[in-house]
Amino acid sequence: MLDRYLLRYFLAVVDQGNFSRAASHCNVSQPTLSVGIAKLERTLGMPLFVRSNQRVELTDGGTRFLSHARRIEREFNLAMQSMGMAETLTSLRIGILSSIAGEIVAASVARTRPERQHRFELLFGSERELTGHLAKGRIDVALTLVGRGGDRFLELPVHTEGYALAMAADHPLAQDGEIGADRLANEVMIVRRHCEALSDTSRFFTERGVRPHFALRSTNDERVLQMVGAGLGITVMPQSYRAQDVVRPRLSGFDLTRTLGWAATQDAEHMLRASPPVMAEIARQLVGRG
């Protein structure tokens, strides 16, 4: 028989990344948690973690057990809720691609207040990071790039958008709806280092002989927009980004698009069929950006 507290210890180590943070999360000492994990491993007859000084990783057996542990914990919480005995709100853990405008997510959270309905967690990351978090069960669903040929997760496309220039509203070219790369040869630019289209953008300009000076390299899109609005430089961003002092003319000939959507494991299929309000609002906001 598996005690529930052992499952919670196990899931805490997976979610927190090491025994020390997991113990703090569970409000127990690290030796207590370690003894519990050892007991769970003896009960299952296999090691669950590979331990090292730097990090803790799941064994093959631990990876197989993880999906069962998630399901057991989820079913237990649902049973407690149905009997009016829920200890806490149900959890909702959402991952968001870092290159999605933060104001879209913030506005959606403000409108739906998911923290009042769930034990809500929000995590931003790259496509690769979100894929890893989904695979390990650290998040329930991710808003990320979809339609790229993989079949590892269930997908629900939400919105397809292109990329455009971003420049200060008082820039001499700001009134033009479309700008060719040749007209940007002498412009200062800003690099969004985390952008999934970075290599395509670099190749596009290089092939046209445009090798600008870069005034800023950043992974923070809000900061990039601030600096664009301040006139520091020009950049290329997804069309959904907006700022009061920034205009978004089209970059002539740059027709790359991306499709954003929800990705989930089989266990979270219900969240794609009947999305929680915050997910539905994020999707609405994205589509509303056109």
What radius of gyration, in Å, describes the C-alpha atoms of the chain? 23
Q: Which of 142, 53, 100, 68 has the alpha carbon at shortest distance from 237?
A: 100
CA separation for the pair 250, 198 (Å, rounded) = 17
What pLDDT does 16 receive? 80
* pLDDT (tens place) for every residue of the chain, 290 residues total: 778 888 888 988 888 878 888 888 787 888 888 999 999 999 999 999 988 766 788 999 988 898 888 888 877 777 766 666 555 557 889 999 999 999 999 999 999 988 777 788 999 999 999 999 998 888 999 999 999 887 789 999 999 999 999 999 999 999 999 999 999 999 999 999 999 999 999 999 999 999 999 999 999 999 999 999 999 999 999 999 999 999 999 999 999 999 999 999 888 888 898 888 999 999 999 998 87
What pLDDT does 15 receive? 81
Strands (E), 110-240: 119-125, 141-145, 154-168, 178-179, 189-192, 214-218, 235-238
Q: Which of 141, 108, 103 has the alpha carbon at shortest distance from 238?
A: 103
- Which residues, 6 or more positions from 54, have their beta carbon under 8 angstroms from its beta carbon? none
What pLDDT does 128 receive? 92
DSSP label at 26?
Answer: T
What pLDDT does 239 receive? 95
- Residue 94 CA to chain centroid, in angstroms? 7
Q: Which of 124, 89, 133 has the alpha carbon at shortest distance from 105?
A: 124
What pLDDT does 265 receive? 87
**All domains in the chain, ordered by first residue:** 1-88 (1.10.10.10), 159-258 (3.40.190.290)
What pLDDT does 88 receive? 55
What pLDDT does 139 receive? 92
Asked if residue 163 lies in contact with residue 236, where contact means CB atoms within 8 angstroms, the answer is yes
The DSSP secondary structure of 44-76, one letter per residue, reads HTS--EEE-SS-EEE-HHHHHHHHHHHHHHHHH
- Residue 276 CA to chain centroid, in angstroms? 17
Q: Please state whether the predicted TM-score (pTM) of the whole model is above 0.85.
A: no
